[in-house]
Structure 1
């Protein structure tokens, strides 16, 4: 897409389409030259949607007031002495228990990582 004029950028911002504007501005002209219009628009929209979703998730995490907002199941130290079940953690990571309306209870000694989970 060619560079947008100031008025078009202003309108996009006014419509709260900042992510779309950023995606358009960051699109590499040399990589997208020769692409059909629809493909270029799809790439821009995909990029803007990813940015929008990421911002939304970050906001939800911030408002949740979690003790460890950067906790990530992929960073759990699975040492043998901790006796953590990798398959169970992977299953919990899918959050399928929510759809099944099941509760999850973490038990363990102090410092075992319950709050992190």
Structure 2
């Protein structure tokens, strides 16, 4: 099965399932020897679906504009020293608060990791296939000021930000903008 012909591969790609063609090509005939046709197809579809899902999640993460794209809720350092509860962090990681339409607010001193935590939470939402966006408050204010003076700008701005399932608004100021915006 792994040796599908050029025309079949072309048709699969034309239908937008190139990952399925790649999964067929990647199958090892020796490892799948003795496996039924149905099981081989199931393995190929599972591989193609995993590739598809990974691509979707990576795209969501890239478009979220995270301040810390490598942030991860599982790698939070010094949870107890920062006053963070492992149980609360684990619960946030399920993204159930999104389904319940609840807000989450992180507060703490400058440098306590709120921006990292917001990025990690937004990334986790993307991994659950939610559309998230990270923006600094000064940038949000600036985009609103630019939009409100344009015809239809307010409505377009509101539609844009309403389209995100999770919106992380960071009140921190970067050093380069601190004196101008904060």
> How far did residue 59 of structure 1 move?
0.7
> How far did residue 66 of structure 1 move?
1.2
Aligned residues: 117
Structure 1 runs of 4+ off > 4 angstroms?
Answer: none
Superposed counterparts of 1:16-31, under 5 Å:
16-31=16-31
2:68 counterpart of 1:68 = yes
1:23-78 CA-partner distances (Å, limit 9, x unpaired): 11111211111111111101110110010000001111111111112211111113
> How far did residue 80 of structure 1 move?
3.4
User: What does residue 7 of structure 1 align with?
Assistant: 7
**C-alpha distance in structure 2 between counterparts of 1:77 and 1:26, whole Å:** 39
Gaps of 5+ in 1: none
Superposed counterparts of 1:1-117, under 5 Å:
1-117=1-117
> How far did residue 88 of structure 1 move?
0.5
**C-alpha distance in structure 1 between counterparts of 2:23 and 2:71, whole Å:** 28
**C-alpha distance in structure 2 between counterparts of 1:72 and 1:20, whole Å:** 30
Q: Is the 8 A contact 1:78 1:86 kept in 2?
A: no
**C-alpha distance in structure 2 between counterparts of 1:31 and 1:80, whole Å:** 47
Q: Which has the higher strand share?
A: 2
> How far did residue 5 of structure 1 move?
0.9
TM-score (norm 2): 0.61
| Range with bigger deviation, 71-80 or 28-37 | 71-80
Give the aligned CA root-mean-square deviation in angstroms. 1.2
> How far did residue 79 of structure 1 move?
4.6
**C-alpha distance in structure 1 between counterparts of 2:30 and 2:116, whole Å:** 44
